[in-house]
Amino acid sequence: MKRTVATLADGREMLYFDEDDVTDREVLDTRDLPGVSTASQLRLDPLLDEWIMMAAHRQGRTFFPPKDECPLCPSTAQRRTEIPSADYTVAIFENRFPSLSTGAAPEQDGVNHSLVGFRPGFGRCEVVCFTSDHQARFADLTPGHARLVVDAWADRTRALSELDGVEQVFCFESRGREIGVTLAHPHGQIYAYPFVTPRTRRMWEVARRHRQRTGGDLHTDVIAAERAAGERVLVETAHWVAFVPAAARWPVEVHCYPLRRVRTIPELTDTERDDFALLYLDILQRFDRLYDAPLPYISAWHQGPVNDSEDLGYLHLQLFSARRGADKLKHLAGSEAAMDAFITDSLPEDVALRLREI
């Protein structure tokens, strides 16, 4: 893998990733850009003990531009984009409208509430462009190209984890207007949080109790139970297993686990990365054949936090869709949105059977 580092016109870092060592990419950005906002802030919800990111400048971010104005396509002589090069394989750059920033310095130095904690929105948000092809899907990538994306995720996880103040790195893809995506070009994002996210904290608490009660590792035991049952397993390879979880929250949901317990993407071996690329492409292609149109989805990597002194983390990918029928979406209504108590409209066993039969 070749890694090329560049600097955009407003000072943001960008990187190219290529499968060979000889490809050269354009690093000069000739645009005239305003400075990136550093006004992000964090406020602590005193009722839930959770940090809320506030970034009012994001209201002005790019929203579904026409294809000939896409900021994630390669640059041409007639139009300069976020990618200075005329072509690329995988490109990653700092978000122009970040929720978190390493230079965060909000004008307000506090909030008028004695119980609400406040601090600058320190962190980093990056955009991951999976391919220069505007019309492609991740599912269209070759195994080698998909493996390159895995290597790029590993590279960024390692680098961002070394930033002072970063506590967790989250790699993800949101696809589809129904999910809330604002750019059609195939891309994902990476967030480097200055806190451990609520979902991870909750999984830690449950895993800690499970270890104290049984002496075992919760994720390892969940994998063993799913493999033993078999009815929800979609694909199992030499190094990975993918299954619909028995207590799935979403209409379509698949979890992908490496059979060898690791905490983060960088810990995966070359063989495990190759194996994952094949399995992941398989699952994505099944998703897109479930209905007549490509399935909107969120693909979320759950990695162990930077400081996992209790060794509770187990790397896994959660892939899910809010589409509950060919022409129906599951909206988070009263029970889900207000109480975080999910109601599902289909049995995980039935979803697993449909995905297996595709």
Which residues touch 337 (CB under 8 Å, ≥6 apart)? Answer: none
Which residues touch 66 (CB under 8 Å, ≥6 apart)? Answer: none
d(CA 351, CA 290): 10
DSSP code of residue 75: P
Q: Is 185 annotated as a binding residue?
A: yes
Residue type, 321: S
Sequence-ordered alpha helix ranges (H) in the chain: 143-161, 198-214, 218-229, 270-288, 339, 348-357
Q: Is 73 annotated as a binding residue?
A: yes
Closest CA to 51 of 118, 124, 122, 100: 118
Q: Is 134 annotated as a binding residue?
A: yes
Answer whether 273's CB lies under 8 Å from 142's CB: no
Positive or negative: CA dihedral 63, 64, 68, 71: positive
Known catalytic residue at 331: no
Catalytic, out of 187, 219, 239, 316: 187
Residue type, 346: S
Residue 325 host element (H or E) = strand 323-325
Answer whether 75's CB lies under 8 Å from 81's CB: yes
d(CA 303, CA 283): 20
Q: Is 171 annotated as a binding residue?
A: no
Using CB atoms within 10 Å of the CB of residue 257, give its burial: 0 to 12 exposed, 13 to 18 middle, 19+ buried: buried
Phi, psi (deg, nearest 5) at residue 316: -160, 160
Which tokens is 97 given?
A: 């409208």
Which residues touch 278 (CB under 8 Å, ≥6 apart)? Answer: 143, 237
Annotated binding site for Zn(2+): 70, 73, 134, 185
Annotated binding site: 70, 73, 134, 185
Active site residues: 187
